[in-house]
Structure 1
């Protein structure tokens, strides 16, 4: 057929299944071989020849951080050879950053102004409607004494969202001669198809009359542009004030007089549980007090209850101590009043001060507030390490396997019948009951959704049945995980045998109602009270957090009373914290320690670089699996030794498309999909999926990393707009076309930064349709840490980051998704039926390959060779290779 019409070509492509039409767009049914090498908003996945591949370092980026989202299973090896053109382009990009002040300054008598007006060489504007033209005008004026050639101009960009216009169509081959006093206009017409942030750099090139076009000494002037397409929501969520880093004043010794406050009622009274094992004190220098950054200056205490607003300050608990001093008091010695926390409310903290302050208090008096660290958990950890050495716990903490005895596997009838059909769970329970690993710990390696907590609970139920003399201590790093253990145990165990021990600082409002009858809450004293040692020893199972387990040691519970110690989510605890529940309680030879967790998920949360440097960031569970041969796979068959560790393999949570990448990256492709088919395929036919049957969406957004005030936390309003749009679609489609009714508690939104979490919560109240959704407050928005151990039918993830510079910062400080494997793993494995990830377009290779990508259209971005060629043609070499560089 000669000169076929487009319709004929399209018909043929459709006929042979080479393309498909969806929602008015044409898609090719070809899987691209995709790999991303440089992850900022100027790059996109592109098919390229192997010889053109370059590494991030070669393209001016940081060393390539971990980024599972960028992983492509079909990627080819990278050729690290740089062409001269690309090397020059890289140097020019670097020069644009380093020499910005010089490049943006007017020179040679040429002055460039703009409409809209620019600030510090940058033109910033925003539009609220898409697909409407917005013009930026640049006025080039020759205010010098001699004539100048205007030889060339271009825009350094990656996104085809604007056109350049000028009357004379200036090029190097057709320059414009500007005499003194003359001016010339250049227009940039923006046409935005997507909401987001679209920066570009305008480059203007000139030659003096003495150095006409074609000479080697032109000069250039650069102007930056930032175009933003924003809705009213984005404007509402924007920064309330420019970002200014918080400056911590250097410490200066001050002579003070301390006036003690009033502790909470009964907080200082003698408790029934005596402290028989003392805690030691130690000194530490002021510069280690990271809380110094959280000081409140010139704050107001509100009489008569003396409350101070919590806002964005460190979390405090009942019994914690704050120090206040009058802001006007400058004469030493300064009187410092110690206030104890009596009650924590939503935005206020009720404090107890001395009568001296209360009686002399005058309204509107301003105070400086200093937060102090609660050192009790640290003191417990120090004592635990000492007790571990005293009680010779070497074979528990550093097992060699020499004392392992041969035991027979008991035949067990499971309380939870579903475990009968799971060979890994069944085997783990048998090993725990038989004590096969003693004195070495037994490890239950539980990847996401494999039921490790259920396995522990069943093992405790079986021990209670087969061993009447056993006493069990069940611990977890957090109260929520400990509460879950207690609730599960009460399902099959005699409630009179189970006791939940809470710390006196635990707010009553956070305790599940069904546990109040089984814990140490004393309604007559309106507080949590520790029972006597004899009362505690009468229970078969005690559940507590690892820190509160230290109270049992302090109370004199004898070594060996607890025959078994279970620690759930042990991968989240620093090793000395895990030892709190072991040393001084578990017999080093006859006791059985069971650790459950996943070393591939989030570990302990640390802020001290020194502590991380010396291994405190590695939990006891991870250290054993990483360094001890007993807990590693054998080289010949690739299996764990079942006497010491069991890896659970059946995932009962996620759709296979959601599980695929984490399974390949972290679990050696061993996880098996056993989630209920109806639950996992609920949203496979949702009308807003880019690909039917693939319940994973990556929505590409060109956003902007922003900060506000003195908060270092980042947020990205463009991503929040997309999240709200998907929430609205989910709300409107529930109960239609085969979809079930949806409750907000079925949805979770994960963001890596606290400020993004706050902005999302604000958006939920701002969007009218969503704010009226029943029980919208039950929709959880939180960090990755807050979602560990949890699951939702639908998970939405905001990656926030768009700038490669900030991605490098995340790598340095171990935050974000792109640089932390464990954060990525946890975030991607919470969803059961639908996972929506919103982020920079260059981060979604897996979804691109599987046709689950939507959002920013890659066809709007230029190819790499086009940009490299344009960069290499710029006359910025005098800044890249100035003459003084060659001076000796």
Structure 2
């Protein structure tokens, strides 16, 4: 028998009024009841209605963005490509009963979004109130229950015993100290969030015979990592990795196939009774909706864990809760960092009205349970991990002070973090941190609205060559392309860097040059490299308000700065215009630190008397060398600014 769909998943089509609402939202003084709803703080009373309206706005923008991939052909026919039942082929569906084949006939190719992900979130928002999740989503801020006695645990990963914060988090989760409120593990960069949650899952499975655990993450890669680590000390027959039928079988790790629903080249879903026999089920947030549709009883799962919870839209996070978790007896554990980037949204209105705030961040910023009282967190509800096992202290210093109250401790392996202490190209020896000032220019091509900066690309390639040359010299640390990452905020800059790297690869005859990852900050979140280079691109203050409005670029965006500079283990190189970057308090602090410590090179910050004049010239888009710039013709488009500049992945990781 296979899992049946017993719980309805409605279509949740975008209502006709949404297009008119979008038009009215562009008018600052226009007001109506729906705008009032969007502008109201999220509450239990408006929870379903507000989130469903936000989802409608997001889907409307998705429908516009997907049109970018259409391939029109004049005087052509229209047909639809759909997957066959085996998911292996695309079948051409031609309208009408009579089928005639004409050689050389042309077709329009039009793409549509996968609405299943949106529909699952609509149902979650609706079921949240129907299933009474108030104590989970809006926990009581005056808890009356007594602190439970914390268990003494023999850990599977004994390294955690030397980390008091990780050990404390595991103890509190096993004891259920926050129930019915969620327990939060606040994990800054490189502090071991995932190993902490994995240890907690193993301890619950070991000590609580009646437990059933649902472990989720926003992406398949993160869910695979969770499952791999859980299986290390848990009986394989007790762990089940459930994939969506849309997942490419080739992407399923070989070591997980035996405990998954992949059979041969296709996926099967065991009957409800069989699924309920497993102690631990691992899936993505959205694929957990299959368990809701299958009518797994509410309360069957005693614990729901969400790793990387800060990356998910709140309605995604609610998919494994609404209909599955009993609000009073169940335990939700959220793991992540609200100081790093949240979910990527396409609609400027869904972003503006709060959909970009994850459940993790909302709880930490609005509920007193998760905020510091007299400088400390209540460890019955939240643990902040403090030991960073990734970065050199110089790299960690500024983000630690700006975002983590200076509490992080640099605990990375000394050999690994000191690879580049004495690199010959450092402005100052024993400081593996470089800010390279460049007076480039923001450029756009006529067929693209995305920005790039040629001068910064040239500087980056110079550093890439120096790093690869150094790795070939006797006595110096060996380094290959896979050890280097380059981060840029705009898709056109990413493209220009990749193109330049092709030439560098030819010079060095590397066969794995593609292993040098180039991408946006979002693509690097959760990752690390021995060397990270950052191209900030902006050389004119003209577009800074534009970036801030749409949450783009590095200027005026603390979270993007935080993620970018905390990916590096041993060497961080930032390339940018200090004049523009110094208009942002975060970057100003970083550049001043580099300057004070001797880590600056290239274009220097003007003296104070000249600074205001230079900044005004920058705002006018006039070169500080005196050469005027010409404005580029930019293609008009209905695409979201996010798609134009970032080209983000579609949120369809089922």
Q: Is 2:485–2:517's contact at 8 Å kept on the other side of the alignment?
A: yes
Taking a change above 3 Å as real, the CA distance of residues 768 and 827 of structure 1, as seen in their structure-2 partners, is closer
Which residue of 241, 251, 255 maps to 1:514? 255
Taking a change above 3 Å as real, the CA distance of residues 768 and 280 of structure 1, as seen in their structure-2 partners, is closer
- Find the aligned partners of 1:743 and 1:283 in 2 and give their Cα distance: 50
2:600 aligns with 853
1:486 aligns with 227
1:606 aligns with 345
Superimposed CA distance per residue, residues 338-387 of structure 1 (whole angstroms, 9 cap, x where no aligned partner): 22246999xxx963212669953445433333322222112111211222
Taking a change above 3 Å as real, the CA distance of residues 282 and 866 of structure 1, as seen in their structure-2 partners, is closer
Q: Is 1:728–1:769's contact at 8 Å kept on the other side of the alignment?
A: no
Superimposed CA distance per residue, residues 737-778 of structure 1 (whole angstroms, 9 cap, x where no aligned partner): 643221322111111111211222222112254562242221
Taking a change above 3 Å as real, the CA distance of residues 656 and 869 of structure 1, as seen in their structure-2 partners, is closer
CA RMSD of aligned residues (A): 2.8
TM-score, normalized by length of structure 1? Answer: 0.60
Structure 2 SS opposite 1:475: strand
TM-score, normalized by length of structure 2? Answer: 0.81
Higher strand share: 1
Which ranges in structure 1 are unaligned for 5 or more consecutive residues?
1-270, 297-311, 314-321, 330-334, 871-888
2:61 aligns with 290
Structure 2 SS opposite 1:706: coil
Which residue of 750, 753, 758 maps to 2:495? 758
1:389 aligns with 129
1:373 aligns with 113
Larger Rg: 1
- Find the aligned partners of 1:639 and 1:436 in 2 and give their Cα distance: 17
Taking a change above 3 Å as real, the CA distance of residues 291 and 362 of structure 1, as seen in their structure-2 partners, is farther
Structure 2 SS opposite 1:360: coil
Query: CA shift at 1:445, angstroms?
Result: 0.4
Q: Is 2:470–2:477's contact at 8 Å kept on the other side of the alignment?
A: no
Structure 2 SS opposite 1:797: strand
Higher helix share: 2
- Find the aligned partners of 2:266 and 2:492 in 1 and give their Cα distance: 34
Q: Is 1:343–1:351's contact at 8 Å kept on the other side of the alignment?
A: no
1:691 aligns with 428
Superimposed CA distance per residue, residues 322-351 of structure 1 (whole angstroms, 9 cap, x where no aligned partner): 9x987326xxxxx74222246999xxx963
Structure 2 SS opposite 1:503: coil
2:320 aligns with 581
Taking a change above 3 Å as real, the CA distance of residues 567 and 848 of structure 1, as seen in their structure-2 partners, is same
Structure 1 SS opposite 2:300: coil
Superimposed CA distance per residue, residues 541-594 of structure 1 (whole angstroms, 9 cap, x where no aligned partner): 111110000001001111111111000111111111111011111111111100
> 1:775 aligned to 2:516?
no
2:50 aligns with none
After TM superposition, the structure 1 = structure 2 runs for residues 675-754 of structure 1, keeping only pairs within 5 Å, are 675-734=412-471, 736=473, 738-754=475-491
- Find the aligned partners of 1:866 and 1:783 in 2 and give their Cα distance: 32
Structure 2 SS opposite 1:832: strand
> 1:354 aligned to 2:354?
no
After TM superposition, the structure 1 = structure 2 runs for residues 512-551 of structure 1, keeping only pairs within 5 Å, are 512-523=253-264, 526-551=265-290
- Find the aligned partners of 1:866 and 1:327 in 2 and give their Cα distance: 53
Q: Which moved more, 1:457-466 or 1:277-286?
A: 277-286
After TM superposition, the structure 1 = structure 2 runs for residues 300-311 of structure 1, keeping only pairs within 5 Å, are none
Taking a change above 3 Å as real, the CA distance of residues 762 and 325 of structure 1, as seen in their structure-2 partners, is closer
- Find the aligned partners of 1:856 and 1:868 in 2 and give their Cα distance: 14
Query: CA shift at 1:278, angstroms?
Result: 0.5
Superimposed CA distance per residue, residues 833-862 of structure 1 (whole angstroms, 9 cap, x where no aligned partner): 000111113333332222111123568999
2:393 aligns with 656
Aligned length: 565
Which ranges in structure 2 are unaligned for 5 or more consecutive residues?
20-56, 582-590, 618-654
Q: Is 2:78–2:94's contact at 8 Å kept on the other side of the alignment?
A: no
Q: Which moved more, 1:494-503 or 1:768-777?
A: 768-777
- Find the aligned partners of 1:797 and 1:659 in 2 and give their Cα distance: 15
1:91 aligns with none
Q: Is 2:79–2:94's contact at 8 Å kept on the other side of the alignment?
A: no
Query: CA shift at 1:402, angstroms?
Result: 3.3
Query: CA shift at 1:422, angstroms?
Result: 0.6
Q: Is 2:541–2:615's contact at 8 Å kept on the other side of the alignment?
A: no
Query: CA shift at 1:617, angstroms?
Result: 1.4
Structure 2 SS opposite 1:414: coil
Q: Is 2:391–2:569's contact at 8 Å kept on the other side of the alignment?
A: yes
- Find the aligned partners of 2:505 and 2:614 in 1 and give their Cα distance: 43
